[in-house]
Each structure stands twice: as structure tokens, then as C-alpha cells.
Amino acid sequence: MHTRLAEARRALLRFIMMQQASAANPLTAIQFRVPFDRIRAGDVEPAIAILLEEARIRLVGIASEPAGRTFANTMAALDEMTEPLDFAMAVVRHLESVTTTPELRAAFNAVQPAVSAFYSGIPLNAGLWKGIKAYAATPEAAGLQGEQRRFLDKTVDAFRRHGADLDPAGKERLEQLDVELTRLTTRFAENVLDSTNAFEMYIENQAELAGLPPTAVASARESAARKGREGWRFTLHAPDYFAVMTYLDHPGIRRRFYDAYSVRGAEEPWDNRPLIRRILELRAEKARLLGFRDFADFVLEDRMAHTGVRAMRFLEDLKAKTEARFHAENRELLEFRRSVEGPQAPELEPWDVAYYSEKERAALYDFDEEALRPYFPLESVTAGLFDLAGRLYGLRVTPVTGVPVWDPQVRYYDVHDGNGDFLGGFYADWYPRENKRGGAWMGALITGGPAPEEFRPHLGLICGNLTPPVGGKPALLTHREVETIFHEFGHLLHHLLSRVEIRSLAGANVAWDFVELPSQIMENWCWERGSLDLFARHWETGAAIPEELFQKMKRARAFRAANAQMRQLGFGFVDLLLHTAYSQERDGDPVEHARRILQDFTPAPLPPNHAMIAGFTHLFADPVGYGAGYYSYKWAEVLDADAFTRFRDSGIFSREIGAEFRANILAKGDSEDPAELYRRFMGREPDPRALLERLGLA
């Protein structure tokens, strides 16, 4: 008796201490105004411990529900079960991506194993699985329709696909695999960030800067000054790297940058090679354990392609339609170089391709992309983008000050519908920092939607690594950077305009070969005169892009389009082959194997140390990520080129077509089959010809 009483007292004391810790911790409650100014690395581990325990209690409650099974106490409860934990992990994961510190990284890595084990264990919980099957056998379940029917069917399929029917030993092994994959992929991402930040080059001789645009030179000067150095400082972050590779006349420096970039994550102390081998092994083992032939079939069963074979056929078909023009473009580039430098000019090296391509484009079309930069100040671009969202979808985007942010450069916006309803908000973080990972992305912090009481607003974010302000000028962007902003805002619209009640099916929680449609279609408005006039205004005079310059830009759009397409197809081939046919015994080191595959898609011979996939975070910085799914970019590009024809033919500002796209695509999430949603919007199956025409390949 005394022992049980002591145990009860200890349990009560633990509960009281947890409640006290929870009340003081900024991560333990979902807050629409995220207290980014109060979150510290020391909050992470205690908060996640509390939220994990609460989620476990909710899981046990659903599994042991004493009343009769209903949608509310089983399926809806399952959908809501992890929401506080999801929110906290999304915030912590985001902060580790945009403002990392050694303390935050250590805390994030410390909680990852337990969190991964918990999520992996959800479909493996025998009581929960029994409860779901019991509900599926009820008359109420038999009568479900719409998104509730889809949620039940997808949940049953997902539980089976993720090991619900495995024996105890199989479940234990699956959990081990998921925990190790989480640990290894997190380490992969950290290695890429650290190896990227480890490289810097100071140039002290101004003559060696020849060819660089003034914007890049000014940025490099300010970068050096921030480090207390003279001269010009360059890094591997996107604005520096692409400026050097595209414009710098000095071939030796271009080569140094190319070599450094292509071996990120491939050299000590950040060598990802062993991680890649192990990640591939674990993914293959996981697929086999769950009854699939390979990881691609496991990942794609619930996507539009369904199988690795079908995804590969899709890539092979595009390759066949592209490679003749690809080879022709590369012959033309070499001929151009020799027309300038003489017939004895050498073959092109990889670090020459972007440089001579830009020279050739300027010669063919009298077009220099840098001539557009003064017309793309960031503030004007975002204002025009928000104007476009208003014209197409009736949205009102307004900046809000005083909201806590993680960096002074971050901005926050509220989004309202045309009728005044509050839909949600988002943060925008556009500039590179050394404590921020590269690339561009959209993130979901809170997935809201219709609810019995009232609409729950959504909260998201968009991040990039764009050209920062320099020399007292505003941030002046390249056209490609403008496309990046439009792309990520398309993802954000998919999140913010969701009208799905079930959180798991809402927003961008869709098949990955469908998720890029809302983002990629937005890029089309970066090429239309009417929409450009909304935001492309000279930062000093306010003048629109001159018609002559606009026409040059349009004519140059398809320049080396076959090379751009083959590059993406090459990544898709590497991805699928590594996840379907790769054998370490037969094919050797996966980095070298990938280099051999990529050579067929590359305009110049790759050097022996080329190790692109060692820094390929899309494939290896997440337990799944774009692994076996990189083809999705091209799959969705077919959809976006085809879908945009409706706007092109009926008016790029058509509110009617915008309303249809919003209602049938943006608002629907995964509440219906994506192929059906696409057919409803277009009235037919997708036609790949639109993409080939856009690229000048038809």
C-alpha cells in the first residue's frame, strides 16, 4: 500500500512539474504569433519531452477508447493527436535551418531520435491499428463520403504500407530504421551547410574581378568589410556562386569555385559519402521489410506516378524528346567559343559552360540578364506579386509590424480574403546568412481550415537566398530570383487557401508529383508583359521594362532550354537509379556511380572528383524528402505548362479562371485524387506538348 501511494505521489509530482515547465516554455503551446524572440536552445529538449508524453497519452486514449467507435473519437482524434508536437518540431526545425547555433543544433539532434521513433511507431501501435480497423467496419464508416471517406481509406492504406501488419520483430526493426534514417539525414544536411560555409575566397587584385556585374562586386566588397578585410570576399552561397560562374572572366577562379561547390559534403570533416551509402541501404531495407520491391515503389505508391517504372518511363520519354537538341546546343556553344577565340580554342570545361553560354546569349539576342536587375527591386517585386494574388484570387496581403521574428530582416504579412475574412499569415526571409541553409523553400507552421466553431487561420513561411541590398541600393534581383519568389509564393498559396477540414489532407500535404503544380504555375506570370508591368519598375525612375528589352528577354527564354531540361532529367535519373537499381557490390561508390550517370546529361566532361550528390539535400537531407521523387519537378512542369494555357488563352488576370484554379486545386489539398482535380480544372488529361512548346522543343 505504501509503495503504491509513494508511486502515486511521485506521478502527481511529475505531472505538476510538467505543467509548471509547460507554462513557462514558449514551445509547448500552439501560438499563432510564434514567440520567436523568446525561444532558446534550452527550451527545445524539455518542451519536446512534455509534448511527446502528451502525444503518447492521446495515442493510448484513442487506442483504448471505451465508447463505441466513431469518426470523432477515432479518425478526427488521430488527425489532431500530434498537432502540438508537429508545431513545436516545425518551429525548431525551421530555426535550425535559418538561425542555427551549436547549442540549437545539439538540442535539435538530441530530440530527433525520440520524435522519429514516436512518429514511426504510430502505425505500428497494435491497439491503435485495431481501433482504426474496428471503426472501418462500422455502419458510420461505410456511409462516409468526401474527404472523410478519403481520410479513412488513406489512413488504412498508410498504416498497412508503413508496417501495421508486421510481426513484433519487424515493427521493432522498422522503428530502428526510421530513427537511424532521421539521424543520418540530419547529419547530411549539417555537413552540407558546414562545408558550404567553410569556403571563402578573398580577391585583392581588382583586375581579377573583370566581367562581374557591379552588383556582385559591391556585394563582395561589403562582405569583406563585414569580416574586417580589404578587397572582395566571395562564398559558395547562391548570389556569389552564380555570379562568378556566369560572368567572371578569370577561368582559374571559376574553376576554383566550381571545384569547391562540386565537392561540398564530400571531404573531411564533412564527408557525406558514408552517409549516402548507409541511407541507401536503410531505405532499401525498409522497402523490402514493408513488402516493396524497392524504395521507389514504396515512396511512389501513393503518388501520381505510383511506381518507379512509370516514373522512369516518364523521364525516358522526355529525354528522348530532348537529347538531339541538347547535343546541338552544345555543338553550337563550342562553335561560338571558337568563333570568338579562334579555331584552336579548347573544348569546354564544366566551369566554362555558364560563362560562354551567357556570352552566346548576349551575342544571339543582344540580351544581358543583368540589364533586367534594376527593374526588379525586391519590394516592388513582392508588391506586384501581392497585387497579382488580389487580381487572380481576391486576396489582400498586408505587412504587419511588431510581430516577433528570428532575424531583423524577416518580414511578416497577414492575408485576408476579398470579403475580409482572415485566412492566415506568413513570414518572408529572403537573404543569405552564414547561419542559414541554402536554397529556397516554403514551410507550414500551422495548418488551419474550416472548423465547427470558426475558420482556423493558416500560418506559413517562405525563405530564399537572394541578392541582398548593397551600396545603399535596394535588393536588385535577377529574373531567376524573381521566379524563385513567385515559385515559393505559389506553395504558400496552396497552404493558405486550403479549405480542407482534415489537417492531414490540407494544404500542401499532397502527392509530391502534384505539389509543384501550384508553385511552378506561378512562374509563368514572370514572363508576361501585363504582369511584369505590375512590379518590374526601375528602382530609380519607376519606368517599366522597355519593350525592346522585354522582347529580347522573351526571345532568349528558350535559349539552351534542352540543356536546362537535361540537367533536371539527369538528377531524376540519378535519383531513381540509386533507389531502384543501385548495387554497391556491382556499381561501387554511389557518388562515383552518380557521376557516371550524370555525364550523359552534362554538356562538358565531369572531373574525377565531381561529387554533386554529396551536397544534394533534396535527396538525402530527409528520411524521404525527394528521394525517389525528384522526377516530380518535371512531372509537375508538364502540368503547370498545360494548366497555364487556360490563363494564356483567356486572360492572364482572369478572375473566373483564377477562381476555378483556387477552388479545384489550391483549396482542395489532398481531399480528392489529384488526377481528378486536374481533370476538373482542365476538362481533360494533361497534354505534355505545352511544355515542349514552351521550351522550343516541339
**What CATH number is given to the structural domain containing 393?**
1.10.1370.40
Predicted confidence (pLDDT) at residue 543 exceeds the cutoff of 60: yes
Q: Please name the amino acid found at residue 432.
A: P
Are residues 379 and 363 part of one domain? no
- The dihedrals phi and psi of 621, each to the nearest 5 degrees, come to -100, 15
- The dihedrals phi and psi of 163, each to the nearest 5 degrees, come to 100, 15
Residue 6 lies in a domain: no
Known catalytic residues are 488
- The verdict on pTM exceeding 0.85 is yes
Residue 302 lies in a domain: yes
Residue 182 lies in a domain: no
Which residues, 6 or more positions from 393, have their beta carbon under 8 angstroms from its beta carbon? 493, 497, 658, 659, 662, 666
Residue 180 lies in a domain: no
3-state secondary structure 248-310: CCCHHHHHHHHHHHHCCCCCCCCCCHHHHHHHHHHHHHHHHHCCCCCHHHHHHCCCCCCCHHH
E-assigned strand segments in 367-435: 396-399, 411-416, 422-429
Pick the last residue of a domain from 165, 191, 217.
Answer: 165
Are residues 360 and 283 part of one domain? yes
Pick the last residue of a domain from 142, 165, 188.
Answer: 165
C-alpha angle 311-314-317 in degrees, rounded to nearest 5: 150
DSSP 666: I
Residue 23 lies in a domain: yes
Q: Please name the amino acid found at residue 428.
A: A
Asked whether 186 and 112 are in contact (CB, 8 A), the reply is: yes
**What CATH number is given to the structural domain containing 316?**
1.10.1370.10
Q: What is the chain's Cα-based Rg?
A: 26
Grid coordinates of 250: 578569370
Exposed/middle/buried for 458, CB within 10 Å: 0-12, 13-18, 19+? buried
Are residues 353 and 339 part of one domain? yes
Are residues 513 and 654 part of one domain? yes
Grid coordinates of 144: 462516409
Are residues 117 and 152 part of one domain? yes
Split at pLDDT 50, 70, 90, the class of 398 is: very high
Q: Please name the amino acid found at residue 378.
A: L
Domain containing residue 608? 273-367+561-630
Strand, helix or coil for residue 97: helix
Strand, helix or coil for residue 462: strand
Q: Please name the amino acid found at residue 158.
A: A
Measured from the Cβ of residue 437, the count of other Cβ atoms closer than 10 Å reads 21
pLDDT tens digits along 164-217? 999 999 999 999 999 999 999 999 999 999 999 999 999 999 999 999 999 999
Residue 520 CA to its chain's centroid (Å) = 12
Are residues 503 and 606 part of one domain? no
Strand, helix or coil for residue 406: coil
Asked whether 308 and 576 are in contact (CB, 8 A), the reply is: yes
Are residues 204 and 100 part of one domain? no
Split at pLDDT 50, 70, 90, the class of 1 is: very low
Domain count, the chain: 4
Percent of all residues in the chain with a pLDDT value above 90, rounded to a whole number: 94
Residue 226 lies in a domain: yes
- Measured distance CA(492)–CA(444) in Å, rounded: 8
Q: Could you tell me how many residues make up the chain?
A: 698
Grid coordinates of 236: 559558395
- The dihedrals phi and psi of 559, each to the nearest 5 degrees, come to -60, 125
pLDDT tens digits along 254-283? 999 999 999 999 999 999 999 999 999 999
Residue 8 lies in a domain: no
Measured from the Cβ of residue 508, the count of other Cβ atoms closer than 10 Å reads 25
Are residues 416 and 534 part of one domain? yes
Task: Report how far apart the first and last C-alpha atoms of the chain are (Å, whole number).
Answer: 83
Asked whether 621 and 192 are in contact (CB, 8 A), the reply is: yes
Strand, helix or coil for residue 650: helix
Split at pLDDT 50, 70, 90, the class of 12 is: very low
Are residues 87 and 229 part of one domain? no
pLDDT of residue 391: 98
Residue 428's DSSP bridge partners are 411, 462
Strand, helix or coil for residue 546: coil
- What is the overall mean pLDDT for the chain? 95
Grid coordinates of 26: 514558449
- Measured distance CA(95)–CA(436) in Å, rounded: 9
Residue 186 lies in a domain: no
**Which uninterrupted H or E stretch holds 501?**
none
Asked whether 587 and 579 are in contact (CB, 8 A), the reply is: no
Asked whether 465 and 438 are in contact (CB, 8 A), the reply is: yes
Are residues 453 and 396 part of one domain? yes
Split at pLDDT 50, 70, 90, the class of 471 is: confident
Pick the last residue of a domain from 630, 654, 676.
Answer: 630
Predicted confidence (pLDDT) at residue 65 exceeds the cutoff of 50: yes
Mean local confidence (pLDDT), 23-50: 96
Mean local confidence (pLDDT), 293-315: 96
Query: Of 195, 211, 191, which Cα lies nearest the Cα of 203?
Result: 211
Are residues 473 and 547 part of one domain? yes
- Measured distance CA(255)–CA(259) in Å, rounded: 6
Are residues 481 and 571 part of one domain? no
